[in-house]
Structure 1
Amino acid sequence: MNVIVVGSGIAGLTAALHAHESGHVVTLVTKGALGDGSTGFAQGGVAGVYGAGDSAQRHARDTMDAGAGLSDEAAVSILVAEGAARIAELITRGVAFDRSPDGQLLLGREAAHSHARIVHAGGDATGAAISRALSYAVRDTDITIVEEAFLVDLMIVDGVARGIRTLIDGASGELDADAVILATGGAGHLYAHTTNPAGTTGDGIAAALRAGAAVADLEFVQFHPTILDSSPAFLISEAVRGEGATLIDSDGRRFMFDVHPDGELAPRDVVSRAIARQAAAQGSPVRLDATMLGTTMLARRFPTIDRVTRERGFDWAREPIPVTPAAHYLMGGIVTDLDGRTSIPGLFAVGEVARTGVHGANRLASNSLLEGAVFGARAAAALVAPAPATASTPVRAWRDDILPSNHLAALPFSRAALQQLMWDHVGLLRTDEGLAHAREVIRAWRAGLDASHSVADHEDANLLLLADETVSAALRRTESVGAHFREPALIGV
């Protein structure tokens, strides 16, 4: 088969390698350079190595608990059952995970994990190590690599995915295929504050929506609790809290145990909301205190964070550093089965762009890299067994059934305005009134948006489509669960 893989994070690179090794002709298309994307920024590690007293069953239970009971049990079972093989494969492909002097893999612990089971590389540079090794592996094959190529749309022929439309250096083009695997990541740039690199504008999900693919759980957006409160956004890994760092208020008091019995190691949604509320109440950022870990340990275990915080003027070995939440990961996406198949025959989705069901309402820390590796491999294996065609109705690109009110239609659109609207009303803390207002503004902007020509134009259209779908999903889910939190009145963040 001729297979196109779109995206070059851990999910896309794994899918491309496995498809190539199975004898398929593979073309890997990536928006930036090979290996660009969120994977390279991942600090914490890959969950799935079990020490004494731990097991895959315990990992599955932690995943289900973090997902607020909405994770798909079958998908979680596959994740933890196949995780060890995928981690071993990463080692074989050249990822040098950190080890003790006697050669044992060093295991870290992060929030909502009941045991230390997370392997890491370079201390806090796991994603970079994985991206580098898998990119080298891909370049060492005859996989065709197309860089700096923007995904405009999917090519659907008789209900089957048969390729993609691209924009490269301003020129439109088409690439034919027997199957397409989307691995384009999430949509962090829906929000004013995000850990995601600039290219995460929801392109794959938007293209799948326009083609009529089923999506789900877009309301579940995970906000990472601890981003250094200094521009540009820089993530302070959850592993820092796993090693013993604490969150303190303006008086130096730990406040997380007022909110959850697990304190700083509560699920991410709980910690993020607590930080936002505390910061609003005291009128200043919450601080992360890692001073008890000492200069030597911080520099050895977290060399990247240590370097960047010092470059920003913070000596985190001597004083607590200010932190704030930011949009980090999308639990929802294109609905897939356990082999990455979507509702459109010939179209697969893996990684953050997919809704496998693993994450439920709130992703367990360090499960994302694992999911990308596990389901990237499964999708490649499923290429020999396409699912039968199913009917689908394409989503219209423009909402001409929604008539915006005059005052909203006059509001000027900009990406920054959209991101602030989403942050204010579709972020950590949501209300009926705020969600309804956001949807009305978004639909007014969509109705007035000009045709897309440049990459930026297409990105704006994709972000608006994703924003519309996200806020609509949030309005439909009236109960608070996991990362989706409804309350009577907004609390400023």
Structure 2
Amino acid sequence: MSLDSIVTADVLILGAGNAGLRAAIAAAENGANTVIVSKSPFPGGSSVVAGGLIEASFGEDDSEELHFRDTVKGGAYLCNQPLTQILVNEIKSRIFDLESYGVAFLRESPSKFKLVSSGGTCVARDLTSGRNDVVQRCLYDKARSLGVTIYSEMMPLKIFQDQRGAPLGVAAYDVQRGDTFFFQAGAVVMASGGLAGLYKRRATPRNTAGDGFGLALDLGVRLVDMEFVQFIPLSFVYGFIEGMTLGEGDSYGDKVRLRNALGERYMERYAPERLEHSTRDVVARANYLEIQAGRGTPNGAILIDATESDPMKAYFQPHHMAHRYRLIVDFYGKEKADLKEPLEAAPSALYICGGIEINERCESNIPGLFACGEVAGNVHGANRLGGNSLADVQVFGKRAGEHAALFSRDASMKFPDRREMEREFLRLKGLLDGNGRVSPRSIKKDLQQLMWDHMGIVRSGALLTEGLKKLENLKDRLSHMGAIGSARRYNLGLLEAVELPSMVSLAEAMLRSALLREESRG
């Protein structure tokens, strides 16, 4: 297997979610020939399943200072505060950008946004368009109008560097056609999303395998806060959408009660002040502990009791998020969707608060490598407030694209050593030849169970150490792994075989980070 095609760009962006698209818009507006490479088809990534809320301090009783305080407090005081300040200061301008791209946020009047509450905020602060995919589609249309080229279903394999360590470009595998590509670039923006795919129960698509983190580790990029995984408190508990988010307490109105199978309102024990309206980390932990103590339902869940709430003040309702309401109807029935009966839910892995360490220009410690969105760290601290992720991607996506475009103007466009690139494609061919005796799927399934059991919501030194020992066994199995089937096109087994080595390395980094954190935060 050898190189089939070469594509040249000033700025190459890995990821076509909201962060990558916003970075592409900014890069193109600054004169850069911009290319996006996305492992997913469009629309794809975590942006597709995001709740659709964006935090911005437009309320009459709100301010940037209150937004800042809530974010820092919600992050257990571990946020990089200069970055947090940028987030709260700039998000309102980015909201107006989105409106200019065609996003229609819900309003109470022509001059007043409709704002809803989320856990951990002192006032209602979250904007919504009523659908979670509207922002991504409008960003896509804007990026295409600026001449941005998007390569979908393209799996990044390796970032090549020059002698200084700066990126020269990315080798990739075309899932649709089975071809190999090299994307040569003056600057690279990592916007490849999260890593919830390392967990058995997750709220994100299966392909959120942490590819960007793995590529970064290979380069020697500095990662921070990798122990801080956020679990959404409420998610579907059965069916093929098990793990998909059902939001948090505030999603079900101000009179919501979380109950165990005994009918107890257990949040009175865990968070007597804010109760169901506490931050996600607090509620997810309480839900998990109740289930582990044997007080869950037969399906391993707790109960969302919103029977006393006004449906007009709830989020997943026909007037607000109609598509999510229909999903609840399909899987739980209309009575539960209408909040007339309690519905089952359980926590699932959603978001990594850590990632590539960035500065105010979204630069990593590698010159020419930028990061934004979930793959970037140190914005949210130990826990993220709902609505701050979709704010983050707009603010730092724009900054990453701008500064990558500026960097690319002086970058020397060189081609990496051809032999090194051929070795990467030979590795791909070796997986495809099917010489391995172990299927990627079996290793992946065991890795996801390991992470759920040992790097989950509740941890201990003993659990983490045992997880690292089990990980050594998975490493041994990797050497005997091969793709199932010899097809070069749409070979899911090959994709999983490519993903798994970096997933295992990433799992080790997370477990070791958690061992070093000898306190409970987030």
One fold, TM greater than 0.5?
yes
Alignment partner, residue 162 of structure 2: 157
Alignment partner, residue 291 of structure 2: 279
- Offset of residue 345 of structure 1: 0.6
- Offset of residue 273 of structure 1: 0.8
1:366 aligns with 2:377: no
Alignment partner, residue 43 of structure 1: 51
In structure 2, distance between residues paired with 1:296 and 1:51: 20
Alignment partner, residue 99 of structure 1: 107
Percent sequence identity over matched residues?
Answer: 33
CA contact (8 A) 1:452 1:458 kept: no
Alignment partner, residue 306 of structure 1: 325
In structure 2, distance between residues paired with 1:60 and 1:252: 37
- Within the candidate set 495, 506, 513, 1:455 is matched to 495
In structure 2, distance between residues paired with 1:301 and 1:144: 33
1:383 aligns with 2:392: no
Paired residue type of 2:265: R
CA contact (8 A) 2:58 2:113 kept: no
Secondary structure in structure 1 of the residue aligned to 2:332? coil
In structure 2, distance between residues paired with 1:137 and 1:199: 25
- Offset of residue 422 of structure 1: 0.7
Change (3 A) 1:50 1:101: closer
In structure 1, distance between residues paired with 2:246 and 2:96: 27
Superposition map of 1:122-137 within 5 A: 122=130, 125=131, 127-137=132-142
Alignment partner, residue 115 of structure 1: 123
- Within the candidate set 135, 148, 151, 1:146 is matched to 151
In structure 2, distance between residues paired with 1:330 and 1:458: 21
Alignment partner, residue 394 of structure 1: none
In structure 1, distance between residues paired with 2:61 and 2:447: 47
In structure 2, distance between residues paired with 1:80 and 1:452: 47
CA contact (8 A) 1:44 1:237 kept: no
CA contact (8 A) 2:447 2:474 kept: no
Secondary structure in structure 2 of the residue aligned to 1:293? coil
CA contact (8 A) 1:111 1:242 kept: no
Paired residue type of 1:287: L
* 1:365-420 alpha-carbon deviations (Å, 9 max, x no partner): 1100111110011112213554999xxxxxxx9xxxxxxxxxxx9xx952111101
Change (3 A) 1:293 1:299: farther
Alignment partner, residue 236 of structure 1: 246
CA contact (8 A) 2:362 2:400 kept: yes
Alignment partner, residue 291 of structure 1: 307
In structure 2, distance between residues paired with 1:429 and 1:186: 20
Paired residue type of 2:305: D
Deviates more, 1:296-305 or 1:468-477: 296-305
Secondary structure in structure 1 of the residue aligned to 2:288? helix
Deviates more, 1:5-14 or 1:226-235: 226-235
Alignment partner, residue 278 of structure 2: 266
In structure 2, distance between residues paired with 1:470 and 1:320: 36
Superposition map of 1:338-417 within 5 A: 338-355=360-377, 357-383=378-404, 386=407, 414-417=443-446
- Offset of residue 43 of structure 1: 1.5
Instruction: Kindly tell me the number of residue pairs found equivalent between the two proteins.
Output: 458
Deviates more, 1:450-459 or 1:157-166: 450-459
- Offset of residue 301 of structure 1: 2.7
Alignment partner, residue 405 of structure 1: none
Q: Which 5+ residue runs of structure 1 have no aligned equivalent?
A: 390-396, 398-408, 483-493
Change (3 A) 1:305 1:205: same
In structure 1, distance between residues paired with 2:20 and 2:253: 29
Deviates more, 1:467-476 or 1:33-42: 33-42
In structure 2, distance between residues paired with 1:113 and 1:218: 24
Deviates more, 1:62-71 or 1:240-249: 240-249
CA contact (8 A) 1:413 1:445 kept: no
In structure 1, distance between residues paired with 2:79 and 2:26: 26
Superposition map of 1:169-208 within 5 A: 169=175, 170-208=178-216
Q: Which 5+ residue runs of structure 2 have no aligned equivalent?
A: 1-8, 412-423, 425-437, 484-493
- Offset of residue 62 of structure 1: 0.3
CA contact (8 A) 2:258 2:303 kept: yes
1:59 aligns with 2:81: no
* 1:396-455 alpha-carbon deviations (Å, 9 max, x no partner): x9xxxxxxxxxxx9xx95211110111011100111111111111212322441377722
Change (3 A) 1:166 1:384: closer
CA contact (8 A) 2:27 2:405 kept: no
In structure 1, distance between residues paired with 2:199 and 2:21: 27
Aligned-residue CA RMSD (Å): 2.2
- Within the candidate set 455, 464, 471, 2:511 is matched to 471
- Within the candidate set 70, 75, 79, 1:71 is matched to 79
- Offset of residue 26 of structure 1: 0.3
